Amino acid sequence: ALEQPSAAIGLALVARRGHDPDIAKLLRHDLEERANSELRGALCIAVGLSGDLEAAPIVRKLASERGDPEVRAQAAMALGLLGDRDGGPPVLRALLQDPSSTTQREAAYALGMLGDREAVKVLLDLVEDGGSVYVQGSAAVALGRIGGSESVASLTAMLRDKRRPAIARAMAAVSLGLLLDRTEGRRLSSIGADLDWYA
């Protein structure tokens, strides 16, 4: 039960590094054929990591089907990892209304990865009242990745609201950082690159 999902992720990383179409094809085939939910979820992530855009229709179907919310959540993340900008955003926007907070959270994050500007209004609503603090946080980070000045007021209010849980406020800070530094922190990380961390 543990070895197969781990093997799928390991193969995906090999496929990603070496652009190996045979491994990608194997992962895509297993994603279609395997019924075990735990393995299927890992295969979604594996397909996403492998960058196999040919698998996008399969992943979209899994994300859209009623069934295991964990698999749907992992399929949502896979669409973001794949960079499925053509067919992924409509599926992911629909998942923002899903009753599962896990699915909502991953869909929000994936929309941020895809930079979907059409999702900004719904993501702002989730920041205001997303039910789960993790949904609110993922929506905030997605807004930071998407960019745009329309998100600043809501994110700043979230950061300043001391009644909000610390994790939600922290995610608002991350999001504002992403809005300010469009390199996703790479510029900032270069400042500490030469520091002696042991000291």
Say whether pLDDT at 188 is over 70: no
Give the pLDDT confidence score for residue 128 in this predicted structure. Answer: 86
Give the pLDDT confidence score for residue 100 in this predicted structure. Answer: 92
Cα separations in angstroms, 136 against 77, 100, 150, 170: 16, 13, 17, 11
Distance CA 112, CA 137 (A): 12
Give the pLDDT confidence score for residue 159 in this predicted structure. Answer: 92
Give the pLDDT confidence score for residue 130 in this predicted structure. Answer: 73
Say whether pLDDT at 187 is over 80: no
Six token digits for residue 105: 């959270």
H helix runs in the chain, sequence order: 3-18, 21-33, 37-50, 56-64, 69-82, 88-95, 101-114, 120-129, 133-146, 152-160, 166-180, 186-189
Say whether pLDDT at 185 is over 70: no
pTM for this prediction: 0.86
Q: What is the mean pLDDT of the chain?
A: 89
Cα separations in angstroms, 148 against 104, 137, 180: 22, 17, 10
Residues 77-127 pLDDT 10s: 999 999 999 999 999 999 999 999 999 999 999 999 999 999 999 999 999
Give the pLDDT confidence score for residue 2 in this predicted structure. Answer: 78
Q: Decide if 179 contacts 163 (C-beta within 8 A).
A: no
Segment 169-190 shows an average pLDDT of 79
Report percent pLDDT > 90 for the chain. Answer: 66
Give the contacts of 179 (CB within 8 A, at least 6 positions apart): 143, 144, 147, 148, 151, 152, 155
Residues 29-40 pLDDT 10s: 999 998 788 899
